[in-house]
Each structure stands twice: as C-alpha cells, then as structure tokens.
Structure 1
Amino acid sequence: MDPEVAAELVRKGATLLLLDVPQRTLLGVDTQVFSVGPKFKGIKMVPPGPHSSTTAPPTGTGMSLHLL
C-alpha cells in the first residue's frame, strides 16, 4: 500500500475493535478473509463506506453482518 494512502486511511478510515474472538475463527470483510490468531484485536484502516462482514467460528456455524 502506498504510504500516502495508508496515512489517509489512518486519518479517515474505521477501526473494528474485536476482542475475545475465538482462535481459528474466520473473519471476512468485503473480499478479505482472516483466520484469527492469539494476538488478534481487530482490523484497522477500513475505508469509509458500506462493507460486508462474515464470520465462521471454528465449530462450523456462522453468521453474516452488513456494516453501513
């Protein structure tokens, strides 16, 4: 990512603080999917605008959430 774009996202982007998410949970925001590890605390530098989010806990059940 370009340093100027990163600096702009730090100023204007959102931060999703997601504490105590179980390890190995799959967390998706738009087209990116993350596997939660032991140090996971959330996602930063999310661009302004509507987003789609999904989760899939390690147990195999899941849910969808649309963020506006």
Structure 2
Amino acid sequence: MDPEVAAELVRKGATLLLLDVPQRTLLGVDTQVFSVGPKFKGIKMVPPGPHSSTTAPPTGFALSTSRLA
C-alpha cells in the first residue's frame, strides 16, 4: 500500500474495536481473513462504505462505515 494512501486511511478510515475475540478465531472483512492472536484488539484503516464480514465458526454480519464530520 502506498504510504500516502495508508496515511489517508488512518485519518479517514474506520476502526473496528473487537475485544475478547477468542484466540484462533478466523475473522474476515471483505477479502481479507485474519487469525486472531493473543494481542488482537480489532482492525483499523477500514475504508468508508459497506463491507461484509465473517467469522469461523460461520457467523456473519454486514456493516457500513462513514467519515466523521
């Protein structure tokens, strides 16, 4: 990722605070999947707009993020 794009996402992107997710849970957002480790607290730099997410065991939810004014 280009450093300028990353800096823009840090400023304008969403942060999903996901506390107490059990270790080794698979967590997917759009096309990326993460294996939760002991230091996992959430996901940052999520672009504004609708997203899909999944967890394993298979459970899912939809979310939409927006920029703060």
Q: How many residues align?
A: 68
With the length of structure 2 as denominator, give the TM-score of the two structures: 0.81
Structure 1 distance, partners of 2:62, 2:48, is 25
Distance 1:67 1:12, change over 3 A: closer
> Where in structure 1 do 4 or more consecutive aligned residues deviate above 6 Å?
58-68
How far did residue 60 of structure 1 move?
A: 13
Of all paired residues, the percent bearing the same amino acid is: 91
Structure 1 distance, partners of 2:51, 2:61, is 21
**Structure 2 residue ranges without an equivalent (≥5):** none
| Structure ranking higher in strand proportion | 2
